[in-house]
Each structure stands twice: as structure tokens, then as C-alpha cells.
Structure 1
Amino acid sequence: MIPGRTDGPLMKGNAPPLSRVSQITIAVGVGVFLGCIFGYLYPDGLFREATSRVTSAQVSSVSCNSAERVNMLKSELASLSDKHAELKKQIRDLNKKLQLAEQEKDQAQEQFLSLGVQRKAFPFGTEKGLRTNSAVLPDESVNPRLAKILEKVAVRKELIVALANSNVKEMLEVWFENIKRVGIPNYLVIALDENIESFCLSKEVPVYRRNPDEGIDSIGRIGGNHAVSGLKFRILREFLQLGYSVLLSDVDIVYLQNPFDHLFRDSDVESMSDGHNNMTAYGYNDVFDEPSMGWARYAHTMRIWVYNSGFFYIRPTTPSIELLDRVAARLSRDPTAWDQAVFNEELSFPSHPGYIGLHASRRTMDMYLFMNSKVLFKTVRKDSSLSKLKPVIVHVNYHPDKLPRMKAVVEFYVNGKQNALQSFPDGSLW
């Protein structure tokens, strides 16, 4: 063996066989071929295409989720708005109930103090006398049929009551249509003839027709305003005996708000006034001048304009029932007497020799909330500030053209027609 020669067995073992070289060559060729194919099919690259698809799917998903989220937020906002409105309504209702509860608490305290044992006077400025008499014990035996009606119609043992015959049918319709519009559920028409009873039933208006009474029925069917007005004092007595408070209403009244939300219920009688300003409605010191008396020529008098007997709230107390009895008795003795004058005399005249006065408490209603037609047509419609206020009711008591003025009140306060009241004179033409 020659030193440095490399052609021995070891050399032969390290040389790669022919088959392995062929496999490598084939693999390289396949790779080049596949590369050409992918290069043709995916010129932008395989991974870039996949990435693009993933990104597009993500954008679409985000867009879809955003739209769903916006719709969800809108739905939640609408739901919260409804809940907010409902909470505001509940708060208003609770405030009304709280006010009523406080009034009842004060009345209960006064009753307790009046019926309790004798005591010393409270400190200066804190003593209060009894103003609210306790209600009578209800007696359903007086009129079981009426008792069943009132049980369905009344709310918290109180309701609006109006008397009507066919002479006032058109005004009656305006009257109850506005009561319905306001949403007052507790009202009742006392029908004085068959026509009005049928009319109310056809209009789904709560109605009550008394059992036959020849004296009352004849007046009810053919009587004018004053004659019919005098009947209410006899008829109302049964309502009080049954334990219900009544808001007595003439039919020449337009309702714009629920009056039960604006009553104080701290007196036997709560009435609207015929007064037209603070002095006449709530009372004033009127000085009578008699020069012949010299030094004593001036005499001070206390004056207040009368309560309107066509709209008052009366509680079922002993003085209230006595008031109705007194007025009805006087009107039966003197059919020519005006019921409103008798009503105010019995409420106001004090005891004096030969006469025992009525010990009934009374309250004057707010004249701008419970508005008579003199206040409206002489003052309010001409005042830019007062005309923006919305009264609870408007009573067309000062004017004989009642129906057109009632319709004008509806146009002005309900339909917003600003010139609806302008064509009417302040007073009547005669």
C-alpha cells in the first residue's frame, strides 16, 4: 500500500449511493414546481391572503357588534326614560297622598283635643281651635239603591254631583265631555226626567234617577234654573247621610283640571266665590260714612261677596246636614226666595236674639283656580300673565249666554285658540 492513497474500503463506504442523489433531485424539482403553482394562484402571498380574510371578518364582526350595541343602548335609554316618567308620576301621587295625610293628621289631632280631657292652654301662638267637624256615621238604610251606585262611582268617599233636566241638555254634554277629557272618574248626574236619564246612559255617563216623588218630580221636569237649584239641598242630604263628601256642581261649568287635587278638606263647606278680586272674594274692612254722627261718622263693617251655591264641596258632618235642612226648609216656605241668598245667610248670620246661628266652618276657594266668569271676562283675558294660568274650573255664572261662552272657554284653554274669548262683552247685554 502506498502511503496517502485513498481508494481503500473506507473511501468506498463514504461515497453516496446513486438512489439517494436521485431522491434529492426529485424533491428539489417538486418544491420548485409547487412554488410556481402557489406563486400563480396567490400572487400576494398565501399568508397575506389569510390575514386579509381574518381582518375582514374582524371588521365585519366589530361593525355588527357596534350596531347591536347602539340598538341596545337606545333600547335601554327608552326604558330609562319611561321609568323616569313613571317615577315622576309616582312622586306627584305620593306628594298628593302626603298632603292629604297631613291634613287628616291635623284634623285627627283637632278632634282628639276637642274630645279629650280638659287641659291648660298651649304656649302663645300654638293654640288651635276645632275647625273640622267629624263625619257622621254612614246609614245605608236611608237609600240602599243610591248606596250601591255611590260605592261604584265614588273615589275615597267623594264625588262630583250635578242635577239636570232636559232644559240644560246641551250644557250638560259640554259639562261631562270635559270631565271625561280631564280623566275624572268620580262624578254622577242626577237625572230629573226620563230624557236626561236615557241621554246619560247612551253617553256612558254615570246617572241616578230618584224614586218617584211628585213634588220633586214636577219641579225637576219643568223647573227653571233657580227652581232646580233649590232641589239640590234636599237631594244632597241623602249623600251626606250615606257618608259621602259631595262636590256639588251646576252644569254651566267647564272642567280643566281635577278639582279633587286642589281641595283642602279642612272645613264643613268649601265654596267658590262670586268675588272678582282679593278683597271681594276673601273679605275686607268696608267703612260706612255717616256725616251726621260727627266724631263717630265712620263705622267699620266686615264684608265678603257671597259663596256660589252652584259649586261647593260639602263634608258629611252634622253642621253640613243642618245647613242643608235649614236652606231646604226656608225654600219650601218661600218658593220665591233665591237659594244662593238663603245658602249664604244660613252660613254667615251669627246667633242673635231670636235666632241660633249655624256653627259650620267654611273656606273660600282660590278665585283664580275656581274661576267665575266675571273674573275671566273682565280681568283674566285682558292680562297677559293671568291668561297663561290654567284654572281648575270656569263657572259661567255671571252671563246668560252660557253655552257659547262655555264652548269659547274650551277653545281658549283646551284647543289653544288665543282669540276665542275676545268677541264677548265683559258683561251681558241686558
Structure 2
Amino acid sequence: MAGRKDKAQSPRVFRLLIAIAIGVLIGCLFAFFYPHGLFTSDLPLQNRRLAKLDLQARSSSSCESSDRSKNLKADVVSMLEKNTQLEKQIKDLTRELKIVEQLKDHAQKQYLALGENHKAGPFGTVKGLRTNPTVIPDESVNPRLAKLLEKVAIQKELIVTLANSNVKPMLEVWFTSIQKVGIHNYLVVALDDQTEEFCISHEVPVYKRDPDDNIDKVGKEGGNHQVSALKFRILREFLQLGYSVLLSDVDIVYLQNPFDHLFRDSDVESMSDGHNNMTAYGYNDVFDEPSMGWARYAHTMRIWVYNSGFFFIRPTLPSLELLDRVATRLSQEQAWDQAVFNEELFYPSRPGRDGLHASKRTMDMYLFMNSKVLFKTVRKDPKLKQLKPVIVHINYHPDKYPRMKAVVEFYVNGKQNALDPFPDGSE
């Protein structure tokens, strides 16, 4: 019985083994020909789609990041511009406030001095009147100039220079330095058509007077001294119109705004030709005459002259009288305008002559620097070289243009050896 049962089961087992073998064989064939399976033909496409979507997402994220970066940069630039504007407005307001306070103080002193008679105060408290009242503006003197000054001047103040085509290179350095500092209240009085056209082409405020035979001849053909003498006549109209003028020669480089450093407490504030504290601000010079014996020593008060190429003058009666006196003498004498300017300003009243009662102030010689101070002293002193003057006036040297450029290189562009090639004086 058992033998028959085994014989009956053996064909089944055999068939089962054959089926398994065939299945394994077919599986191997499929594995060989279809390594990725029958249903994976769309996977690469799906992968590509997923990769594309991922790339798009990254690109979108990158674009958004780039846009954000650009927006942030734009915001930063905008904030910096606003900050610069605010700083400028604060600086302008500070200067205006300073001027207002000065004028208020001067007005109070004028009221006290010109009002009713009053008793003197306690010892050490009495102060005399230094600031003369300004004149009433008269626009009928020159209506065309009056309209121009309304646009150019700030707080009724401006820088004025006279120039003809003979000084064009220096004039360009002059107004370029002014523009770089950010000064807007300046004006060139052109003495010929070429200078007027030159200024217009460089967007420089310019004024050309109405034709005047005498003035035109000097303006077109005159040298430095003749043009310098002419300025006292032309300057008078500015004062009559009620404007304070910072008169400037063209051989000057501006490094700061000079209006931030004025006191406005005198009729005239001028830079000095002095080169140290004694010569610039005055000293007691002892004159020795041995033949006088016991009285051999005579004390004298000395001060080096004010520079007539850079001074601030207010529209007061003493200021107008000063201009009239200087212009009159220069039209009648063969004299240097700077010498006449100082004689009229400093010489006292005496028998046969009434002196000019004008108040005056000497400017800081290191802020308003002449070229003798710069080339003889400042450039050789490591500490003084760190100071930044308001202006540098190349008044002591005839090679003005190259020295002006050297001043720009030294103070503006930071070239430390720019001043070295020049001698102390003129060759």
C-alpha cells in the first residue's frame, strides 16, 4: 500500500519541480532583458520632471534672493542719500542758527549803544559797540544784479571774485575747489566775454557788468594789480544792495566752507600776510636809538598788513567809506591797492585827516592760510601738516597755478609729497 502511494506521488513532485525550474528560468530572462522591470519605463521621465521642478524651485528661490538683495541695496543707498541730505540740512541750519544768534547779539549791542543814554555797568562788564548797523538796501542801484544776487546769495552772503581770460587756468581750479566743498553762494564777475562764456559752459554763476569804457579797458587788458584795484569800485554795488561779500582773488584753493568760520562782529574780517602769531596778530616792536641815552628805547606797535585779496566785508557805512576812499586814491595815485587798503583801514585820525572808524578782525592764520605759512612752516611740521585749512592763498609766490594744483593734490587727494618740489620762496 505504501509502495503504491509513493509511485502515485512521484509524478506530481516531478511536475512541480519542472514548474519551479521554468519559473526561475523565465525570471532570469526577464531580469536580464528588463533590469529596471516592466513598469519602470516612466521613471526617468518622472525623475527628469522632478529634477526640473527642483531646478525651477531653486531658480525661483535664487531670483527671489537676488530681488531681495537688490531691494536691500536700493534701501541702503536711499537711506545713505537721505542721511547725506539730513547732514547737509543740519549743517545749513546750524550755520543759519549761528548767523541768527550773531545778528541777535549784534542787534542787542546796537540797541544798548544807540538807545537812550545809560550808566556804565560794574568794572569789567562794559563793552563798546563793535558791529555797525547795516545800510538799508537800495535795489535801484543795480536792479539786474539785485535779481541775480537773490538767487545766488545765502543769508545775504556770497563769495565774489573778479576775473578775465588771463587767469582762466587758475579760475578753473578756484571754482572747482569751491564746488567740491559744496559751496553754492559764489559768483564770478567776468571782465570780458571769454570769461563769461567759460563760466557759463561750466555752470558757474557769473555776472558781467553793463558796458563801461574805463572798466572794460582795465578788465580786458589789465594785469593782477589793475584788476585788484578795480574790485573796490565794483564791490560797492554789492554792499549798497545789502549783501555781505567775501571778496576772493582767483589764486585761492577752498578746502572748507569759509562761512562756517566767520565771526561777523566787525566791518571787515581779513586774512593776514603775517606768518606767525606776532606778525599776524600784532606785537610791540622796540626801536633803539642809542644817541637818545636814557630814552634810547621807543616802543612801537606793529602788525603785518591785511591781505586785500581775501576779506569779508559787511554792508555798513564804514565799509562803504573804506571802499570809496581806496577807489578814490587808486584813481589818483600810482599805488599798490593792498597798501592803500591797509593805510585807510589802520591810520588814525590826526591833524588834517579824519581816520576811518571801521571795526576789524584778523582771521586765524592757520585756517585762512597764506602761501608763506604753508611752504615755509606748515609743510615742514608733522603736527601742522595734519591741520586742514579753510583756504590756501598763493599770494607770496608767482608760480601760482602749479602751487594751487599741488595744494589740491596734498589736501584733497592725499599726496603727501605734493608740496615738496617747491622752494620756500620764489626762484
- Fold shared, TM-score > 0.5 on shorter chain: yes
| Separation (CA, whole Å) in 2 of partners of 1:118 and 1:300 | 37
The C-alpha deviation readout for 1:315-355, integer Å capped at 9, x for no partner, is 00000000000000000001x20000000000000000000
Shift of 1:73: 12
Equivalent residue, structure 1, for 2:239 = 240
Q: Match for 1:172: what amino acid?
A: L
Shift of 1:103: 1.5
Equivalent residue, structure 1, for 2:45 = none
Equivalent residue, structure 1, for 2:361 = 363
Equivalent residue, structure 1, for 2:404 = 406
Unaligned runs of 5+ in 2: 1-69
Shift of 1:176: 0.6
Q: Cα distance 1:330–1:84, how it changes in 2: closer, same or farther (>3 A)?
A: closer
The C-alpha deviation readout for 1:46-74, integer Å capped at 9, x for no partner, is xxxxxxxxxxxxxxxxxxxxxxxxx9999
Q: Cα distance 1:149–1:78, how it changes in 2: closer, same or farther (>3 A)?
A: closer
Shift of 1:414: 0.4
| Separation (CA, whole Å) in 2 of partners of 1:78 and 1:204 | 27
Equivalent residue, structure 1, for 2:372 = 374
The C-alpha deviation readout for 1:372-404, integer Å capped at 9, x for no partner, is 000000000000010011100000000000000
Note the aligned Cα RMSD (angstroms): 2.3
Shift of 1:306: 0.2
Unaligned runs of 5+ in 1: 1-70
Task: Kindly indicate whether the alpha-carbon contact (under 8 Å) linking 2:96 and 2:155 is maintained by their aligned counterparts in 1.
Answer: no
Shift of 1:76: 10
| Separation (CA, whole Å) in 1 of partners of 2:212 and 2:267 | 29
Pairing of 1:30-429 with structure 2 (within 5 A): 92-334=91-333, 336-429=334-427
The C-alpha deviation readout for 1:405-429, integer Å capped at 9, x for no partner, is 0000000000000000000000001
Counterpart secondary structure, 2:158: strand
| Separation (CA, whole Å) in 2 of partners of 1:295 and 1:147 | 62
4+ runs deviating over 2 angstroms? 71-102
| Separation (CA, whole Å) in 2 of partners of 1:270 and 1:225 | 22
| Separation (CA, whole Å) in 2 of partners of 1:159 and 1:134 | 19
| Separation (CA, whole Å) in 2 of partners of 1:318 and 1:194 | 33
The C-alpha deviation readout for 1:84-141, integer Å capped at 9, x for no partner, is 8777666655543443233212201111012211110011111110000000000000
| Separation (CA, whole Å) in 1 of partners of 2:174 and 2:77 | 38
Counterpart secondary structure, 2:155: coil
Instruction: Single out whichever of 419-428 and 202-211 deviates more from structure 2.
Output: 202-211
Q: Match for 2:185: what amino acid?
A: N
| Separation (CA, whole Å) in 2 of partners of 1:395 and 1:343 | 18
The C-alpha deviation readout for 1:166-198, integer Å capped at 9, x for no partner, is 110110011011111111101111111111111
Instruction: Single out whichever of 75-84 and 182-191 deviates more from structure 2.
Output: 75-84
| Separation (CA, whole Å) in 2 of partners of 1:414 and 1:134 | 39
| Separation (CA, whole Å) in 2 of partners of 1:73 and 1:138 | 52
Equivalent residue, structure 2, for 1:49 = none
| Separation (CA, whole Å) in 2 of partners of 1:203 and 1:397 | 26
| Separation (CA, whole Å) in 2 of partners of 1:222 and 1:119 | 56
Q: Match for 2:354: what amino acid?
A: I
Q: Match for 2:263: what amino acid?
A: F
| Number of positions where the alignment pairs a residue of Structure 1 with one of Structure 2 | 360
| Separation (CA, whole Å) in 2 of partners of 1:107 and 1:121 | 19
Q: Cα distance 1:73–1:400, how it changes in 2: closer, same or farther (>3 A)?
A: closer
Instruction: Indicate the percent of aligned positions where both proteins have the same amino acid.
Output: 77
| Separation (CA, whole Å) in 2 of partners of 1:125 and 1:256 | 39
| Separation (CA, whole Å) in 1 of partners of 2:172 and 2:74 | 43
Q: Match for 2:343: what amino acid?
A: E
Shift of 1:359: 0.3
Counterpart secondary structure, 1:238: helix
Counterpart secondary structure, 2:293: helix
| Separation (CA, whole Å) in 1 of partners of 2:381 and 2:259 | 27
Q: Cα distance 1:319–1:422, how it changes in 2: closer, same or farther (>3 A)?
A: same
Counterpart secondary structure, 1:141: helix
| Separation (CA, whole Å) in 2 of partners of 1:253 and 1:260 | 15
Shift of 1:79: 9.4
Q: Match for 1:360: what amino acid?
A: A
Task: Kindly indicate whether the alpha-carbon contact (under 8 Å) linking 2:251 and 2:400 is maintained by their aligned counterparts in 1.
Answer: yes
| Separation (CA, whole Å) in 2 of partners of 1:96 and 1:160 | 16
| Separation (CA, whole Å) in 1 of partners of 2:78 and 2:422 | 48
Q: Cα distance 1:93–1:201, how it changes in 2: closer, same or farther (>3 A)?
A: closer
| Separation (CA, whole Å) in 1 of partners of 2:85 and 2:143 | 39
Q: Cα distance 1:75–1:361, how it changes in 2: closer, same or farther (>3 A)?
A: same
Counterpart secondary structure, 1:228: helix
Question: What TM-score do the two structures reach when normalised by structure 1?
Answer: 0.80
Shift of 1:83: 8.1
Q: Cα distance 1:137–1:199, how it changes in 2: closer, same or farther (>3 A)?
A: same
| Separation (CA, whole Å) in 1 of partners of 2:72 and 2:196 | 55
